[in-house]
Amino acid sequence: MSSLLFAGVGRTVPSKVKLLLSFSSRCAISNSDFLNYPLKTLVLQSPNAGFKLSNVRYKSNTTVGRSATESNGKKVRLVAGAALVAGLVAGLSHFQRAEMKSTVAVHSETGKKDADDILEKCTCFMSEPVTDIQVLQKNKEEMRTKMEMMILQTQAEFCKAVAEVDGGTFQVDRWDRKEGGGGISCVLQDSNIFEKAGVNVSVVFGQLSEEAAQQIRSRGKSLKRKDGKLPFCAMGVSSVIHPKNPHIPTIHFNYRYFEIEEADGSKLWWFGGGTDLTPTYLNKEDAVHFHKTLKDACDKHDRKLYPEFKKWCDNYFFIKHRGERRGVGGIFFDDLDSPTKEDVFDFVRSCAKAVVPCYIPIVKKHLNDSFTSEEKQWQQLRRGRYVEFNLVYDRGTKFGLVTPGSRIESILMSLPLTARWEYMHEPPKGTKEAEMLQVLRNPKDWAQ
Amino acid sequence: MSSLLFAGVGRTVPSKVKLLLSFSSRCAISNSDFLNYPLKTLVLQSPNAGFKLSNVRYKSNTTVGRSATESNGKKVRLVAGAALVAGLVAGLSHFQRAEMKSTVAVHSETGKKDADDILEKCTCFMSEPVTDIQVLQKNKEEMRTKMEMMILQTQAEFCKAVAEVDGGTFQVDRWDRKEGGGGISCVLQDSNIFEKAGVNVSVVFGQLSEEAAQQIRSRGKSLKRKDGKLPFCAMGVSSVIHPKNPHIPTIHFNYRYFEIEEADGSKLWWFGGGTDLTPTYLNKEDAVHFHKTLKDACDKHDRKLYPEFKKWCDNYFFIKHRGERRGVGGIFFDDLDSPTKEDVFDFVRSCAKAVVPCYIPIVKKHLNDSFTSEEKQWQQLRRGRYVEFNLVYDRGTKFGLVTPGSRIESILMSLPLTARWEYMHEPPKGTKEAEMLQVLRNPKDWAQ
């Protein structure tokens, strides 16, 4: 959906912290750590679990949007905020973690371990969660908590992998949204390997604007207002990475969760997301690796998913006025609301987990590829097309630009550092540029 | 409205001709030549002629869209097409003109002079008119003929002035639109002074798509379909000029005419247009010169026009998500349909005539200004904003992108050759960059 959907629904930047990405051994995020996260997931026994794209509704009495005062245990003010952020800075992490643990210790003994789990994970994030840690601890079984923890973990994992390969340092900006919620934007700009790398998390809530509701209705959902209002909660992680070397492709991914409370108190919820690759030059081996990694992630849940979402991706990332896809695709899905919330979350988590293994090996492979100024120029023209797609078609960008209180810098961090438009440019037949264009005009199956 | 409204409603490029811009003395286009064009214009005696922006309808029985077979005189096939285009090439013009005259001579004696007038003007254009010359000659009193001649003359005048100051050569592309009409795109790219200079004429007709009709209805016009159809004719000249030197501003102008035939046979018509300046650095003297030249053009017709259209321009070229105007403005108007068609045409012609004098002196003044790489970088960031406006907000670009048969290269020739996006860029206080931004956030009156 979006380059940076929900990336920027907020405008103030209360704190801006330059973090040295130095993960301690305890902070190393691995698949196993993540899978140990205590979720009541429904493990699908067969790869045919009946994922559907219909508007199945999940009933719930909980309200959309949460505050720290909801706690039903003792009201505890955690030493979070700047302290937790600082806790990620090399050398201070052990001290900070200790301080937080002692604060949490006032919880009941039975709740202590759960609270520690949340806290432990939080110390590995790029910044403290958007939602108060206390609220997350109290509501650890809610999907919003699970999803917020998952997107923050995805952000941290991916930033770590990108920073390691680049050698540079992410700029981390926390921002609040006046209307509710906020986000964490991590950007590496004009660095060693990457021209621009943006990884964004946002968790926003409030009332849906009529324009935004209209965009959702246009996808076939009927939204019944409650006293003229539509409370919503949306969260997601999204990223666009533009490398300098034209032989290293651009990647985009986005995983998101949406809840809307309707007039009768019922909740509409769905997940969306996708990961797609935009090379400047076609490298078949890269395309196969990328797609196969995504297919493996999908196949664990349902073998029908990859073919469907691969096709959806080709159709979605289509620059209609050019008759070209943006890149070699990947997967894309939206409005995913069955069979159960847990099933879909489990699938989305697998997709998010696949981001590092589908992309980083490609980056490493081409790190030292030499390139000519003509190749750089062709990359710049393709960057121009990237801008065209994002500004003209991308639903998430459009949603962000019309949503009051948007944080524009986070929405538009998806745009490349530089781009080019030449009048009537058409690569000569038989060239590598023409080969690329051919694939953009006629998508192929890469994971067969 | 549009960077290049109606610029690209067509997709085939049957002929592509590189023209050496070599105007003979007979081809020199001056104000006086243009004013001698035999129009029954209503010269307004007082600067208060009652221009209104309401949907006054002009009744007519003529149909929208014309073909060469409409001729009520002898059917004459003019030696036009490639011959006339070639006639603009230096050294051949006299021969070609003579040949055409002899062909036209089969007209009745009374019609001969008028036909010669049209032909004489056509030889000075960048390419032959979009409409068959024979049809123009036959219907010389119709607004569509007057407007087509005027926009072609504006294109030629402006291209000549730009090419003279640059020393480069415009690439001229003629294109046909399968659904009806066509255009002439003139582009100077990566030249001496200009990074990209596009000057486009288009004359298109056919049936309005529902999406396009919806865009027009959203401006308050009720369109009644005839057998489910809405015949329309639209024509305009539009241009965007991006110089290399950051001390030379970008200019955009567009003048257009629209006719729609409704179910009862009545015609809805209106004019639109505007000229605006986008500097990288504020130069107050330039802004004053630019606005005063436009004001003078407006004041000849009605002293109320400039203030209203200046304000409209500031409101229209507003990058909402940035809270910035695109540049220092100029004039902008749309849906202009009173007091009479001739009055409005006369006004629009005055505005088009003001393009060269409002811009070219500014270009010449800064031709030899030196600049730093930091200044070039700031220009590139502002170019990024230009792209954002054109792709996200510009009505003409959006209209073109959704209109079937659009010629995308002509619509998007408004985009700069290169642009840049930096995350969280904000110029420090007290700098020239901050001064520019201040004016973009708070438009000023320049023609007081």
Render pLDDT for B166-195 as a digit per residue (tens, 0 to 9): 999 999 999 998 889 999 999 999 999 999
Q: Which CATH superfamily is domain B12-64+146-441 in?
A: Coproporphyrinogen III oxidase, aerobic (3.40.1500.10)
- Calculated CA dihedral for residues B80, B86, B89, B92, nearest 10 degrees: -80
Residue A84 pLDDT level (bands cut at 50, 70, 90): very low
- Which tokens hold the place of A241? 């990475």
Domain chopping of chain B, boundaries: 12-64+146-441, 67-138
Write the DSSP symbol of residue B5: T
Residue A108 pLDDT level (bands cut at 50, 70, 90): low
Helix H or strand E segment including B347: helix B341-353
Contacts of A420 in chain B (CB under 8 A): 417-419
d(CA B424, CA A410): 9
Q: Judge whether A183 is closer than 8 Å to chain B, CB to CB.
A: no
Chain segment B376-395, per-residue pLDDT in tens: 999 999 999 999 999 999 98
Residue A44 pLDDT level (bands cut at 50, 70, 90): very low
Q: Of A88-102, A426-440, B141-155, give the lowest mean pLDDT range.
A: A88-102
Mean pLDDT score, A101-122: 63
- Residue A202, C-beta contacts closer than 8 angstroms, at least 6 positions apart: A6, A7, A8, A9, A10, A130, A181, A182, A183, A184, A234, A235, A236, A410
Query: What's the Rg (C-alpha) of chain A?
Result: 21
How many residues does the structure list for chain B? 448
The answer to whether the beta carbons of residues B184 and B127 sit under 8 Å apart is yes
Residue A79 pLDDT level (bands cut at 50, 70, 90): very low
Contacts of B250 in chain A (CB under 8 A): none
The answer to whether the beta carbons of residues B239 and B254 sit under 8 Å apart is yes
Q: Is the pLDDT of residue B68 over 60?
A: no
- B302-324: b or e for each residue (b if 16 or more CB lie within 10 Å)? beebbebbbebbbebbbbebbeb
Q: Chain A: nearest CA to B392, how far in angstroms?
A: 6
Q: Chain B: nearest CA to A18, how far in angstroms?
A: 14
Q: Is the pLDDT of residue B89 over 80?
A: no
Q: Do residue B419 and residue A418 have CB atoms under 8 angstroms apart?
A: yes
Helices and strands, number each (H, E), in chain B: 15, 11
d(CA A345, CA A51): 12
Q: Do residue B387 and residue A387 have CB atoms under 8 angstroms apart?
A: yes
Helix H or strand E segment including A207: strand A194-207
Residue B186: closest CA among chain A residues belongs to which residue? Answer: A423
Identify the residue with better confidence: A39 or B155.
B155
Q: Is the pLDDT of residue B95 over 80?
A: no
* Catalytic annotation, residues of B: 252
d(CA A181, CA A206): 8
Q: Judge whether A29 is closer than 8 Å to chain B, CB to CB.
A: no
3-class DSSP state of A96: helix
Which residues are B207's β-sheet partners?
A: B231
Which of A435, A429, A401, A432 is CA-nearest to residue A415? A401
Contacts of A415 in chain B (CB under 8 A): 384, 421
d(CA B351, CA B347): 6
Q: Is A426 exposed, middle or buried (0-12, 13-18, 19+ CB in 10 A)?
A: exposed
Q: Do residue B417 and residue A422 have CB atoms under 8 angstroms apart?
A: yes
Which of A386, A9, A205 is CA-nearest to residue B321? A9
Helix axes B305-316, B284-299, angle to 10 degrees: 130
- Calculated CA dihedral for residues A298, A300, A302, A305, nearest 10 degrees: 10
Q: Judge whether A150 is closer than 8 Å to chain B, CB to CB.
A: no
| B198, B321, B391 ranked by CB distance to A406: nearest | B321
Q: Judge whether A387 is closer than 8 Å to chain B, CB to CB.
A: yes
Q: Judge whether B388 is closer than 8 Å to chain A, CB to CB.
A: yes
Which of B137, B154, B153 is CA-nearest to residue B145? B137
pLDDT of residue B106: 37
Residue B13's Cα: distance from chain center in Å?
A: 20
Q: Chain B: nearest CA to A202, how far in angstroms?
A: 17
| B173, B391, B409 ranked by CB distance to A391: nearest | B391
- Which tokens hold the place of A213? 């509701």
Q: Do residue B198 and residue A423 have CB atoms under 8 angstroms apart?
A: yes
Q: Judge whether B214 is closer than 8 Å to chain A, CB to CB.
A: no
pLDDT of residue A110: 54
The answer to whether the beta carbons of residues B415 and B390 sit under 8 Å apart is yes
d(CA B256, CA B348): 9
Chain segment B336-390, per-residue pLDDT in tens: 999 999 999 999 999 999 999 999 999 999 999 999 999 999 999 999 999 999 9
Share of residues in chain B with pLDDT > 90 (%):
62
Identify the residue with better confidence: A239 or A180.
A239
pLDDT of residue A403: 76
pLDDT of residue A10: 39
CATH of domain A48-63+193-204+219-441: 3.40.1500.10
Query: What's the Rg (C-alpha) of chain B?
Result: 21
A residues 391-410 lying closer than 8 A (beta carbon) to B = 391-392, 401, 406, 408-409
Q: Is the pLDDT of residue B2 over 60?
A: no
- How many CB atoms are located within 10 Å of the residue B417 CB? 19
Q: Is the pLDDT of residue B80 over 60?
A: no
pTM score, two decimals?
0.80
Q: Among A107, A242, A247, A252, which one carries the catalytic annotation?
A: A252
Contacts of B196 in chain A (CB under 8 A): 421, 423
DSSP string, A299-359: HTTBTTHHHHHHHHHHHHSEETTTTEESSSEEEEEEEE-BS-HHHHHHHHHHHHHTHHHHH
- Residue B45, C-beta contacts closer than 8 angstroms, at least 6 positions apart: none
Mean pLDDT across chain B = 79
| B409, B418, B422 ranked by CB distance to A420: nearest | B418
Q: Do residue A198 and residue B423 have CB atoms under 8 angstroms apart?
A: yes
Q: Chain B: nearest CA to A156, how far in angstroms?
A: 20
Residue A304 pLDDT level (bands cut at 50, 70, 90): very high
- The amino acid that residue A34 corresponds to is F
Mean pLDDT across chain A = 79
Residue B405 pLDDT level (bands cut at 50, 70, 90): confident
Residue A51 pLDDT level (bands cut at 50, 70, 90): low
Q: Is the pLDDT of residue B232 over 80?
A: yes
Strand (E) positions, B143-223? 171-176, 181-189, 194-207
Q: Is A301 a catalytic residue?
A: no
Contacts of A198 in chain B (CB under 8 A): 423
Chain segment A410-423, per-residue pLDDT in tens: 999 999 999 999 99
Size of interface A-B (CB pairs under 8 A): 81
Q: Do residue B421 and residue A408 have CB atoms under 8 angstroms apart?
A: no
Q: Chain B: nearest CA to A79, how far in angstroms?
A: 29
Mean pLDDT score, B224-233: 80
Q: Is A218 exposed, middle or buried (0-12, 13-18, 19+ CB in 10 A)?
A: exposed
| A198, A408, A413 ranked by CB distance to B322: nearest | A408
Q: Do residue A413 and residue B419 have CB atoms under 8 angstroms apart?
A: no
Q: Judge whether A41 is closer than 8 Å to chain B, CB to CB.
A: no
- Residue B97, C-beta contacts closer than 8 angstroms, at least 6 positions apart: B87, B119, B120, B123
Q: Chain B: nearest CA to A194, how far in angstroms?
A: 13
Q: Do residue A171 and residue B423 have CB atoms under 8 angstroms apart?
A: yes
d(CA A349, CA B72): 73
pLDDT of residue A39: 25
pLDDT of residue A400: 85
d(CA B331, CA B353): 14
Q: Is the pLDDT of residue A13 over 50?
A: no
The CB-side HSE value for B444 (13 A sphere, CA atoms) comes to 16
Write the DSSP symbol of residue B244: S
The answer to whether the beta carbons of residues A189 and A173 sit under 8 Å apart is no
Identify the residue with better confidence: A88 or B134.
B134
